[in-house]
Amino acid sequence: MPSKLDSLRQHTLIVADTGDIDAIRTLQPVDATTNPSLLLKAAQQPEYAALLDQALQQAAGSYQLISDAGDHFAVAVGSEIVKLVPGRVSTEVDARLSFDRQATVDKARKLIELYELAGVTRDRVLIKIAATWEGIQAAAELEREGIQCNLTLLFSFAQAQACADAGVFLISPFVGRIYDWYKQHEGRDFQGADDPGVQSVSRIFRYYKQHMYATVVMGASFRNLGQIEALCGCDRLTISPALLQQLAAESGPLAPAAQLTQASEDSQQRLDEASFRWAHNEDAMATEKLAEGIRAFAVDQRKLEQLLEARAASAV
């Protein structure tokens, strides 16, 4: 009998949610996603020391040495990943730029330029951007330039609607963090199709398919196998190495989840800035988790920069 991972692969593209090159080599996903937290974790491992030193050398002479070295490190890790996957790697824009459209566009262009200098073409890269109003508008501009984007930290239906209208390549709705919020606020657990995170992604998926949006839906941030199994049939799922290993170790057939095949109950609606902000504001979970996620990624970005600063100082 095939493993659950093999069964899942028949219905959904599997993406590894990690910057761990050894894990990617072992698990052989189609794509891989990184973020500041994953890059920080990688940077603390001895096998990445050479890439840190390389990043500092590449940024030498820059008046923004540490910031530029962080960009070079992110691209260096991504460049190693694309050697191991047939598809794409997602590299995230600094979360501290989440409310600055132009700065987000500029940073994305810079990351793509660094990738191209490293011999990685833009069709192998997705630029990850937080799904704020400013981030979504930046992504719309980048998409028109041929720079495809992965909109992350997505928790509300309004964010999904605006991303579809912007024509972004892919969204990453966060299943596990939605689950965490409802579990804490309602004081109970949720399983399978009753999981609020699963329900959120299912609603978005149905809306996109019924209204024929091309934007890819990639469920992210999973806490358990039940959430993954309940979203079998979603366009893509980005899964941590630990959960991928669990899927590989368990056997059993998986079929597309029933809640993904139902008709959408949501009529098509195009949101302007005011209606987007109001609709997102009305969702307490989404408002809290988006802000929390941006803060957390910003903290880890600063920690990565501190690590680079310490390494640069020790080399003097």
Instruction: State the average pLDDT over residues 117-142.
Output: 98
The pLDDT value recorded for residue 54 is 96
The more confident residue out of 27 and 67 is 67
Q: Residue 315: pLDDT above 80?
A: no
Instruction: List, for residues 149-188, the tens digit of each pLDDT value.
Output: 999 999 999 999 999 999 999 999 999 999 999 999 999 9
CB-CB neighbours of 274 under 10 Å: 9
| Of 304, 276, 280, 278, nearest in space to 290 by CA | 280
**Percentage of residues in the chain with pLDDT exceeding 90?**
93
The pLDDT value recorded for residue 20 is 86
Q: Residue 27: pLDDT above 90?
A: no
Tell me the pTM.
0.95
Judge whether 107 counts as a catalytic residue. no
Q: Residue 316: pLDDT above 90?
A: no
214/152 Cα distance (integer angstroms):
17
- H or E segment at 124? none
159-165-168-170 Cα dihedral, nearest 10 degrees: 60
Q: Residue 234: pLDDT above 70?
A: yes
CB burial class (10 A; 0-12, 13-18, 19+) of residue 63?
exposed
Q: Residue 106: pLDDT above 70?
A: yes
Name the one residue in this structure whose structure tokens are 């993954």. 228
The pLDDT value recorded for residue 255 is 94
Name the DSSP class of 186: H
Instruction: List, for residues 192-219, the tens digit of each pLDDT value.
Output: 999 999 999 999 999 999 999 999 999 9
Fold of the 4-315 domain: TIM Barrel (3.20.20)
Instruction: List, for residues 35-74, the tens digit of each pLDDT value.
Output: 999 999 999 999 999 999 999 999 998 889 999 999 999 9
The pLDDT value recorded for residue 19 is 85
- Residue among 4, 83, 110, 128 flagged as catalytic: 128
The pLDDT value recorded for residue 28 is 87
The pLDDT value recorded for residue 165 is 97
